[in-house]
Structure formats: C-alpha cells, structure tokens
Amino acid sequence: MDPYIPFCGTPPVPAELWTRWTLDQGLLLGLAVALIFGMRFARDRHLMALGWALVALLFVSPLCAASMALFSARVAQHVLLTLGAAPVIAAALPRLRLPALPVAGLFAVLFWGWHAPAPYAATLQSDLTYWAMHLSLTGSAIALFAALRGAPESGLAAAASTSLQLTLYAVLVTLAPEPWHAWHEIHAAAFGITARADQQLAGALMWVAGGAAFMAVMGWFAWTFLRDDRSRAEPAG
C-alpha cells in the first residue's frame, strides 16, 4: 500500500516551495461552491468576495505546502483564516443574533482541541480529518465574529475571554521546553531551524496577531459604548 500523502502534499524543501501551488480539483470545486453560496447569502458581496479570496489564497498558495513542514506556517494559516478571513466574511453576512459567550467557548474548545498533539497528528494522516479541522475552526471563527458584531452587550466579555485563551495558548507554545508535534521535528530542519524554534515562532505569531486582533475588537466596543452614551446624553431636537 502506498504511504498516505497529506492534502497539501509532502513537506517541501525551501528551493521548491514557491512552485508548490495546490490546484486540486476537489479544492477548486469546493471553493467555487463556497463562493456561490456566500454570494447568495451576503449582505455585502464585495466583503464576501474579499474574505473568500483570502481563504482561497491560504489553501491554493505555497503556504499550504509550507504548513506541511513548519508548525509556524500552519499557525500563520490558521491566524489568517480565523482572525483575517473570518471577520471579513462575518461582516459580509446579515447581522445575526448569536450568544457571544457560548460561541466564544466553542471556538476555544475547537482551537485548543485541534492543536493538541493527537488531533493535530490525525490531520496529517487523513484528508477528512484535515478538512474537519479547517472547516470547524473557520466556521466557529465566523460565528464568533458574527456574534461579537450582533451582541455588543456580551461581546466585550466574549472578546476578552477569546483574547485571554489565545494568549495563554501562545505563552504555553512559546515557553514549552520541548516541541509538541513530532511531525515538525522531522521536517523543520530543512528550513534551517530546530523544531523548538519553529514552535516558538508559531507562538510569537499567535501572541502578537491574536493580541492585536482582539485589542482592535475591544477598542471598537469601547468606541461604540462611548458613542451610544453620547447619543443618549444629547437632548432630543
């Protein structure tokens, strides 16, 4: 039996990385279907197209192949999916009233669960598990940002708790004395770094990007509350 090849292909070496575009027919069909459905339900089609384009780029571009070798590349892909594309897509949808704290809890469970060693390793051994990871992370992130946008009363607490759990994960990853994922221990060396250094870079990316994203969200909430208070304080007429 031939050995299983992960969805994004075998881990690349640096010299071939920029030739490793993922043009799988199933992926392209799935992206096309997602675009059709997204445009069908979008309130703002320009934002939907922008969010979809970012998602497509993250799976078609060489970043997909790089994520097979480097944990930091996989984390960069997940950061851009959940903190980049997801809020854009959420903003493109009609305003939804979702319970912000439960949705934030679901996102946290999925994020920590999929990045634990055993589930993470399973995504490198099965296309079904690989897509279960990415679809559930992206879907829960879209739901989270839709909930933050639709429920400002509980959104601030949900944003703060999400920022806290992402920061905690980043700290644990960055300060861990040993690499968490055996797969990357094997393949990081081709890029001239140790697996631990690769993991530290992944933690730093999460630390900075997650902190910046949710500082912006909480700043938006603060501005919204101040604006609303000012509007209520102004006399009518």
Per-residue pLDDT of 64-89, as tens digits, reads: 999 999 999 999 999 999 999 999 99
Residues 6 or more apart in contact with residue 37 via CB below 8 angstroms? none
Token pair 């700043």 in the structure block, residue: 219
How many CB atoms within 10 Å of residue 180? 18
Q: Which one has a higher pLDDT value, 52 or 95?
A: 52
Q: What is the pLDDT of residue 31?
A: 96
Please report, for the chain, the start and end positions of each structural domain, with discontinuous segments joined by +.
19-233
Is residue 69 within 8 A of residue 184, CB to CB? The reply is: yes
Could you say which DSSP state residue 95 is in? P
Give the confidence band of 45 by pLDDT, cuts at 50, 70, 90.
Answer: very high
Is residue 157 within 8 A of residue 148, CB to CB? The reply is: no
Residue-wise pLDDT for 89-115, tens only, equals 999 999 888 999 999 999 999 999 999
Q: What is the pLDDT of residue 226?
A: 53
Give the confidence band of 234 by pLDDT, cuts at 50, 70, 90.
Answer: low
pLDDT higher than threshold 60 for residue 235: no
Residues 6 or more apart in contact with residue 20 via CB below 8 angstroms? 9, 12, 62, 64, 65, 66
Q: What is the pLDDT of residue 221?
A: 64
Give the confidence band of 233 by pLDDT, cuts at 50, 70, 90.
Answer: low
Residue-wise pLDDT for 123-146, tens only, equals 999 999 999 999 999 999 999 999
Q: What is the pLDDT of residue 5?
A: 84
Give the confidence band of 229 by pLDDT, cuts at 50, 70, 90.
Answer: very low
pLDDT higher than threshold 60 for residue 225: no
Mean pLDDT, the chain, integer: 88
Q: Which of 9-18, 55-64, 107-116, 207-216 has the lowest mean pLDDT?
A: 207-216
Q: Is 37 left (phi over 0), alpha (psi -120 to 50) or beta?
A: alpha
Residue 129 burial class via C-beta count within 10 angstroms: exposed 0-12, middle 13-18, buried 19 and up: middle
Q: What is the pLDDT of residue 127?
A: 94
> Model pTM?
0.89
pLDDT higher than threshold 60 for residue 230: no
